[in-house]
Amino acid sequence: MTNTVPKILIVGGGYAGFYTAWKLEKLLRKGEADVTVVDPLPYMTYQPFLPEVAAGSIEARHSVVALRRHLKRSTVIAGKVTGIQHADKVATITPVAGEAYQVEYDQIVVTAGAVSRTFPIPGIADNAIGLKTIEEAVAIRDRLMSNFDKASTLPAGPERDRLLTVVVVGGGFAGIEVFAELRSLASSLIKFYPQLTFEDTHFHLVEAMGRIMPEVSLKTSEWVLKDLAKRGANVHLDTQVTGAVDGNIELSTGETIPSDLIIWTAGVMANPTVVRGSDLPVEERGRIRTRPDLRVGTDEEFVEGAWAAGDVSAVPDLTGGGVGGYCVPNAQHAVRQGKLMAKNITAVLRGELPKDYVHKNLGAVAGLGLYNGVFQSGNIALKGLVAWVAHRGYHGLAMPTWERKFRVVWGWWNNLWLGRDIVNLSTVQNPRYVFEEFAARPRPAQPAVTPPAEPREQGKIADQPEKVEADKEAAAAR
Ligand SMILES: Cc1cc2nc3c(=O)[nH]c(=O)nc-3n(C[C@H](O)[C@H](O)[C@H](O)COP(=O)(O)OP(=O)(O)OC[C@H]3O[C@@H](n4cnc5c(N)ncnc54)[C@H](O)[C@@H]3O)c2cc1C
């Protein structure tokens, strides 16, 4: 007997994908559909926490949600979807181990998110790091802390300056948050390094536009600029990075900033692997063309059995508040679209009509380092400590699952009394270094002892009695 239970394939278990699967598990009746989630990572990443992870205010593992622990009725596959042939309702999965294979589905949900968008600037691809994954956040923290250790052993000079210089490219929310959080971390590290002073640390933010944080009002963004300046940070507005070869950041102003930590946060683009590898319709900016009801397609025509949400999709913003008429790529939308997606798929499976996605932007809240933040909703703006409390309150509650909320909030509580955790575990990248240094190894093979070609002269051996004994001992040891 063939299995006639509809198969729902979710491509990506991030914000939108995780919430779609989580909600489907609650909505679907037993045997109503099979849900499979494919993601190369075993967790959903709470990306708004990445700046705080980089600053050591949140433990890295606490800011991700294990898919297998919380998606109990779905099948989770560790791999990438590398092709979608929707005309045949077949997807290609490239698992993290083993050969690629194809699976059939009835409904596909494309929620593969976005990746850092870069430009072909010399040196950026090789020397910079993005901030879209937990691995990047951990690496940024490790680099800054290792550089403090290195710098503390060097005399003042260009190399020490380079190690203590951080450059962030992109003055959007993510860029400003990580910049301010790292400034806060660096300031708090100084007291542990008597060899270094605050003046030895250098922070530069480079933004191509004439302002930062387009999500908040100009007045609020100017307050952030003043606040950063007070904390010794340099912001280069109307400036572009033109090169980053050998760790030398070249700016369009002609300035050169040598730096060992270059963080690129200048925009995102819809996941190219999934978008290019599929036959689903794509709009001008490379996102999957999506309708307000989250089905793939246009107002006139939808693609049966195909859905998309989150950063990979272009969902029309029916409130009129979006950029170019579409929802901006943020978690606020991805979460809500994921939840509606589950409801709409369930409705369609039951022969009902899906509903349109409508969500009015709630505003924006950002952490700017310990005890400092900014919040804007309409004309209301909060700054400093009260905004920081709002930031932690909002994100503490928004973190999915009580298990994860508890870990994050508990960590904050501990830090409040115990201080920021400044342990640097960057050697985890080379975990065998001590073991390898002292591990006993087989001795290299000794050359075979060849008998002398010529008969020895009489009396020669008797002339070297110690050598004979030494040779005998060496042979015994072998
Ligand atoms: C530093 C930072 C701070 C942010 N702060 C905020 C904030 O304060 N407020 C806010 O609203 N938004 C914020 N955002 C934006 C928000 O996090 C994203 O908009 C949101 O994560 C988008 O959700 P998504 O589900 O579309 O993609 P993601 O959450 O990125 O999930 C995509 C998933 O797809 C997986 N995937 C990738 N390729 C494949 C493949 N080929 N096959 C299968 N799976 C694949 C990925 O591993 C990932 O798990 C922030 C983002 C960053 C980077």
What is the tens place of the pLDDT at every residue in 4-51? Answer: 899 999 999 999 999 999 999 999 999 999 999 999 999 999 999 999
Give the residue among 302, 285, 216, 241 at the shortest CA–CA distance from 119. 241
Distance CA 346, CA 407 (A): 32
Q: Which two tokens stand for residue 189?
A: 């590290």
Specify the pLDDT at position 474: 52
Cα Rg, the chain, nearest whole Å: 29
The Cα–Cα gap between 217 and 332 comes to 19
Distance 147 CA to ligand 1 centre (A): 29
- Cα 370 to ligand 1 centre (Å): 24
What is the pLDDT at residue 341?
Answer: 98
- Cα of 116 vs centre of ligand 1, distance in Å, is 11
Amino acid 361: pLDDT: 83
Give the nearest ligand 1 atom to 268 CA: 53
Helix (H, G, I), strand (E, B) or coil at 154: coil
Q: For atom 53 of ligand 1, which residue has the closest CA?
A: 132
Q: Are strands 107-110 and 302-308 parallel, antiparallel or unpaired?
A: parallel
Q: Whose CA is nearest to atom 4 of ligand 1?
A: 48
Atom of ligand 1 nearest to the CA of 365: 8
pLDDT of residue 4: 87
Atom of ligand 1 nearest to the CA of 114: 30
Closest approach atom of ligand 1 to CA 273: 41
User: 146 CA to middle of ligand 1, Å?
Assistant: 28
Q: Calculate helix-pair angle for 385-398, 402-418, nearest 10 degrees.
A: 150
Residue 326 has what DSSP assignment? B
Residues with CB under 6 A from ligand 1: 11-17, 38-41, 44, 47-48, 50-51, 80-81, 111-113, 131-132, 173-174, 271, 273-274, 310-312, 329-332, 334
**What number of CA atoms fall less than 13 Å from residue 154's CA on the CB side?**
16
Beta bridge partners of 243: 250
Whether residue 251 contacts residue 240, with contact meaning beta carbons closer than 8 Å, is answered with yes
Instruction: Render the burial of 146-160: b for 16+ CB within 10 Å, e for the rest.
Output: bbbeebbebeeeeeb
Q: How far is the CA of 213 from the centre of ligand 1 (A)?
A: 19
Place of tokens 């030398």: 248
Index of the ligand 1 atom closest to the CA of residue 46: 17
Ligand 1 centroid to 420 CA: how many Å?
26
Angle (nearest 5°) at CA 207 between 44 and 394: 40
The residue whose two tokens read 């290792």 is: 146
Q: How far is the CA of 56 from the centre of ligand 1 (A)?
A: 21
Q: Which residues of the chain, if any, have pLDDT below 50?
A: 458-463, 465, 468, 477-478
Quote the CA–CA distance of 78 and 261 in Å, as a whole number: 31
Q: To test the ligand 1 pocket, which listed residue (103, 330, 376) has its Cβ within 8 A of the most ligand atoms?
A: 330
**What number of H helices and E strands is found in the chain?**
15, 25
For the CA of 16, the closest atom of ligand 1 is: 25
Which pLDDT belongs to residue 463? 46
pLDDT of amino acid 452: 67
Looking from the CA of residue 41, the nearest atom of ligand 1 is 47
Q: In whole angstroms, what is the distance from residue 369 CA to residue 389 CA? A: 12
CB 251 within 8 A of CB 57: no
Helix-, strand-, coil-residue percentages of the chain, each rounded to 5: 35, 25, 40
Buried b (16+ CB within 10 A) or exposed e, 254-265: eeebbbbbbbbb
* Distance in Å, CA 296 to ligand 1 centroid: 19
What is the predicted pLDDT for the residue at 362? 83
